[in-house]
Amino acid sequence: MSNRIGLTLGLLVCVLPVQALAVESEPAPVLRLSSDVWPPFTDVEGKSRVAIELVRTALERSGIRENTTVRQDFTDLVDDLRSGKIDGSPALWRTDERAKFLLYSRPYLENRLVLVGRKGTDLSATSLSALAGKRVGVVHSYAYGASVRGAKGPELVEGPSDSENLQRLVRGEVDYVLADQLLVHYLFRQYPEKAKKRLAVGKVSLVERTLHFAVRRDLPGAARIIQRFDAEIRAMITDGSFNRILDVDWIRTDVDGDGEPEMVLGGAEAGELPPASSYELFEMDEPAASGDATVELHYLINGHAYDTWEDVPEEYKIPSKRDMQLDPVRSGVVLFEF
């Protein structure tokens, strides 16, 4: 495992300077990108917009400039892409229809949608069809797919945003909200006491959709833009900058492609004990049951791979100075008020 990661890092070190030289000799394109308000993934400057920041950083590292505008409604965004009014979007779900005119990156995040209910609500449902007669808050413009839109039984109550749907939940206007795990993760870190007191979260994801950067197929150099983006996202995961933008200490993902996920630290403060939790980038990386003695975790810190926790140098085994709450400057948003 260590050798494979070492080889991957070596290749990145060798290849990226060559790319940088190539970029210097080319006019840097300015991509016209657009998205809607979808915290914590997309939003205006100064608010929580981790997807936009991940894409912007990867493109900057590729030598590609972008100008991302944020609109309040998603509805006309796809039409503007199709007509050529904009060049791409930093955060899209893939559909067969969109793929006819858009070129997608590899997935860089996965949206795992879970049920959120008021404290004491039954959250054992493993599908929407099990919620007959219940009101489920969804966002009207999201491409959830047939498993949601075609679900028989629940009443889908459409709202303009996740934050508004959560407000409706607290007010008792809906019984459940379908929301992303990362949004819920941030919510419980911003308001730990209020969230634990008033909300409950399902443990099973009802919908999984991969998140992509996409540009128009007819955009000059589209394939090259996507290729550079994919390479930089992989490098960002390896060097820990991906974590820092997500504002999580540890992420769990398969860096070297061997089928065994690594724990990647976004800094140099690993803690005195092995990490008890992490953010899984993709559903396939879900940790095995707690206490499973057969699980062997590997660690990646500052670009160096370690096969076991015992192999991690003592210089890294110090408590993290990062507050348990979200950094107010970096998160920059109140997801909603209780």
Do residues 101 and 162 share a domain? no
> Are 87 and 111 in contact, with CB atoms under 8 Å apart?
no
Structural domain contains residue 324: no
Q: For residue 47, give every residue at least 6 positions away whose Cβ sits within 8 Å of its Cβ, in sequence order, or none.
A: 39, 332, 333
Do residues 224 and 75 share a domain? yes
Structural domain contains residue 300: yes
Do residues 310 and 191 share a domain? no
Given a cut of 70, whether residue 4 has pLDDT beyond it is no
Rounded mean pLDDT of 236-248? 89
Structural domain contains residue 161: yes
Structural domain contains residue 333: no
Single-letter residue type at 305: A
Q: Residue 99 — very low, low, confident or very high, per pLDDT cuts 50/70/90? A: very high
Do residues 100 and 122 share a domain? no
Q: Which domain holds residue 260?
A: 246-316
Do residues 95 and 225 share a domain? yes
- What is residue 19's predicted lDDT score, i.e. its pLDDT? 46
What are the distances in angstroms from CA 205 to CA 21, 113, 162, 182, 306?
Answer: 44, 5, 16, 12, 31
Provide the mean pLDDT of the chain.
83
Q: Residue 336 — very low, low, confident or very high, per pLDDT cuts 50/70/90? A: low
Structural domain contains residue 116: yes
Do residues 235 and 280 share a domain? no
Given a cut of 90, whether residue 189 has pLDDT beyond it is no
Lowest mean pLDDT segment, chosen from 22-36, 90-104, 251-265, 308-322:
22-36
Do residues 216 and 97 share a domain? yes
- What is residue 291's predicted lDDT score, i.e. its pLDDT? 40
- What is the CATH number for 82? 3.40.190.10
How many domains in the chain?
3
To which H or E segment does residue 155 belong?
strand 155-159
Structural domain contains residue 335: no
Last residue of a domain, one of 225, 240, 255: 240
Structural domain contains residue 325: no
- What is residue 308's predicted lDDT score, i.e. its pLDDT? 93
Do residues 42 and 99 share a domain? yes
Structural domain contains residue 323: no
